[in-house]
């Protein structure tokens, strides 16, 4: 299992450039929204994931997923990468108790099984298994 940080910002393209300059970070895996902003952008420092950024305030186009507005999202979340879909589902089943489900369990371009949940304590979680190529 790996943990990480995801931030939702306005001006994701500028933010990526800013953090690249501030930390000498390199842009890794990324997916753009139709408007050119980042749906997901991973920044690495010394080969390690520093953070991921996503545009806040624009409609995200994800086929076969619930359409939602990221303005409903808190600014940051904790990301937990599991080894198997079963581990993701087990965590999801616990986290959804009295939770606000922002993105129900399902696939995205970079994950065969993931979800966004704000748990009953107000903690925002992104849980996923990395898609195998």
DSSP per-residue codes, 29-88: EEEE-TTSSEEEEEEEETTEEEEEEEESSS----TTS----GGGS-SEEEEEEESSHHHH
pLDDT per residue of the chain (133 residues) written in tens, 0 to 9: 677 888 888 889 999 998 999 889 999 999 999 999 999 999 998 899 989 999 886 444 333 234 444 445 667 888 888 999 999 999 999 999 998 998 999 998 889 999 999 888 778 889 999 877 6
Nearest to 57 by CA among 17, 20, 23, 15: 15
pTM above 0.85, yes or no: no
């Amino acid at each position: 299992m790996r943990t990480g940080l995801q931030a939702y910002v306005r001006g994701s393209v500028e933010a990526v450039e800013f953090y690249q300059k501030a930390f000498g970070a390199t842009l890794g895996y990324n997916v753009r929204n139709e408007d050119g902003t980042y749906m997901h952008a991973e920044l690495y420092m010394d080969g390690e994931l520093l953070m991921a950024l996503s545009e806040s305030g624009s409609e995200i186009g994800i086929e076969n997923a619930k359409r939602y507005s990221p303005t409903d999202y808190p600014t940051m979340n904790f990301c937990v990468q599991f080894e198997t879909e079963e581990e993701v589902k087990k965590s999801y089943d616990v986290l959804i108790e009295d939770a606000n489900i922002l993105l129900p369990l399902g696939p995205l371009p970079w994950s065969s099984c993931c979800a966004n949940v704000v748990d009953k304590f107000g903690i925002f979680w992104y849980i996923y298994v990395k898609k195998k190529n």
